[in-house]
């Protein structure tokens, strides 16, 4: 799995944007978390935009999706985000990301899945204080 992390430094509705590509793995999510938490800009209360457009979710079982959430649940325990918008443009990815969201706490986690960047950004704008 590959990822790109961009802190926005106040330039937009998201504080940090993450783009994921390839086949998701536990090791990939662990590396992502290490990258995020080692950055001095990472903190509690961030608004996050996650683009899963290039993520290959074909063949992922619900159990595999659940195992991928373990590192994220631990990170959120220490650094809970205020809002997370997840972009999943195709049906297969949308289904996998929706399952991921459920394992992260569903609506209580203030994560929402969108099929387009425009929808995700509009929702994040509504989350601004």
Using one digit for the tens of pLDDT, what is the confidence trace for 28-67? 999 999 999 999 999 999 999 999 999 999 988 888 888 8
Architecture of domain 2-126: 2-Layer Sandwich (3.30)
Model confidence at 129: pLDDT above 80: no
Model confidence at 80: pLDDT above 90: yes
Q: What is the mean pLDDT of residues 3-17?
A: 93
Rounded to whole angstroms, the Cα distance separating 122 from 92 reads 23
Q: At residue 82, what are phi and psi to the nearest 5 degrees?
A: -85, -30
Rounded to whole angstroms, the Cα distance separating 100 from 17 reads 18
C-alpha to C-alpha distances, 101 to 38, 108, 118, nearest whole angstrom: 24, 10, 20
Give the number of other Cβ atoms within 10 Å of residue 12's Cβ.
Answer: 13
What share of the chain in percent tops pLDDT 90?
74
């Amino acid at each position: 799995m590959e990822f790109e992390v961009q802190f926005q430094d106040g330039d937009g509705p998201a504080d940090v944007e993450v783009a994921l590509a390839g086949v998701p793995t536990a090791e990939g999510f662990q590396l992502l978390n290490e990258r995020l938490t080692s950055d001095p800009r990472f903190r509690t209360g961030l608004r996050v935009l996650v683009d899963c457009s290039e993520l290959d979710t074909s063949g992922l079982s619900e159990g595999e999706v659940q195992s991928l959430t373990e590192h994220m649940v631990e990170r959120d325990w220490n650094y809970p985000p205020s809002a997370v918008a997840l972009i999943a443009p195709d049906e297969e990815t949308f289904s996998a990301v929706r399952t991921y969201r459920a394992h992260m706490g569903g609506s209580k986690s203030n994560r929402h899945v969108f099929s387009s960047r425009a929808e995700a950004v509009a929702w994040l704008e509504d989350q601004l204080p």
